[in-house]
Structure 1
Amino acid sequence: MDIQVVKVNNDEKEILQNLLELYCYEWSQYNKLDVNQFGSYEFAVLDCWTEKNHYPFFIKVDGKLAGFVLIDKDFAVRKDCDFAMSEFFVMHKYRTAGVGKYAAETIFDMLHGKWEIMCHPKNIISIYFWNKIIDEYTNGKFELIKSCQEVVYQEGTFADFFFFET
């Protein structure tokens, strides 16, 4: 299996938008968002090519799209961080095959510094994934803040945060 993390080009904006629809659909079980009158989710991240300090990547497996990673510097809690994992999505077909682990570690190897990763506590799979990946990557040198009172999701749940350095 050939896994790649590749930068999204400006002319691939529509491809990312299509993947964002899948991501938003999956996320709706946690954030309880509805589609708009056109039957799609509104996701305002598609200017990440023109905004400073935004880094969009596709995850590909054997040349096929398998997900995406969006990194930025829009920190929710600690302003002294260098990178925030804005969105991380691996399609179901590629989960439990090491694709997410490879993608996360590749991103961490590419972008060295202090990281902030926010998770919805009801997304138990995500919490487990990030706890395992970050613990292994940092040899246990990370901080997890559960139910951070500073950040609340739209449906009223307090966010969990991982902080670590690569």
Structure 2
Amino acid sequence: MDAYFTEPGREAYFVTVDGKLAGFTLLRSDVDSTGSWNIAEFFVVRRYRRRGIARRAAKLVFARHPGKWTLSFDHNNAPAEALWRAVVTEVATGGITETERPPPIPGTRLGFTA
């Protein structure tokens, strides 16, 4: 985790609600040689879910780094899939590409420009 606070091309953000820690997001740049940013980890504490907090936090992260993005989600995490599909549809300024991520953790990878 230290790398997200010390290395260039990595960033960490805390999500707060009324001054209380509600989650975090970890970002990496250029993980796939396309010059894109990637959400490495994204988490919101259960009691703050389904209140629009994750959506707002994600939009703030995308606004902070306009340009190319990729993000992946696990097929077994339906709430994450719903969140990411909705947010990406809202923030994408052009087309959205979708590719399948192979095992060991099958999932979907979205590529877009925010």
1:88-140 C-alpha deviation (Å, 9 max, x unpaired): 10111111101001000001111111001011111111111100110122267
Task: Spell out structure 1 runs of 4+ moving beyond 2 A.
Answer: 156-159
- 1:165 counterpart letter in structure 2: T
Summarize the alignment of residues 1-150 of structure 1 with structure 2, pairs less than 5 Å apart: 45-73=1-29, 75=31, 78-138=32-92, 141-145=95-99, 147-149=100-102
Contact 2:27 2:39 in 1 (8 A): yes
Identity of aligned pairs, percent? 27
Larger gyration radius, structure 1 or structure 2: 1
Q: Deviations over 1:71-97 (max 9, x none)?
A: 01252xx42132010101011111110
Could you tell me whether the CA contact under 8 Å between 1:54 and 1:71 is conserved in 2? Answer: yes
Change (3 A) 1:122 1:140: farther
TM-score if structure 1 supplies the norm length?
Answer: 0.63
Deviation of 1:50 (Å): 1.6
Determine helix, strand or coil for the equivalent of 1:96: coil
Q: Is the 8 A contact 1:81 1:116 kept in 2?
A: no
1:162 has 2:101 as partner: no
Q: Is the 8 A contact 2:74 2:108 kept in 1?
A: yes
Aligned residues: 114
- Report if aligned partners of 1:135, 1:141 keep a CA contact under 8 Å in 2: no
CA RMSD of aligned residues (A): 1.7
What one-letter code is carried by the residue in structure 2 that aligns with 1:57?
A: Y
Cα deviations by residue, 1:35-57 (Å, 9 ceiling, x for unpaired): xxxxxxxxxx2332221211100
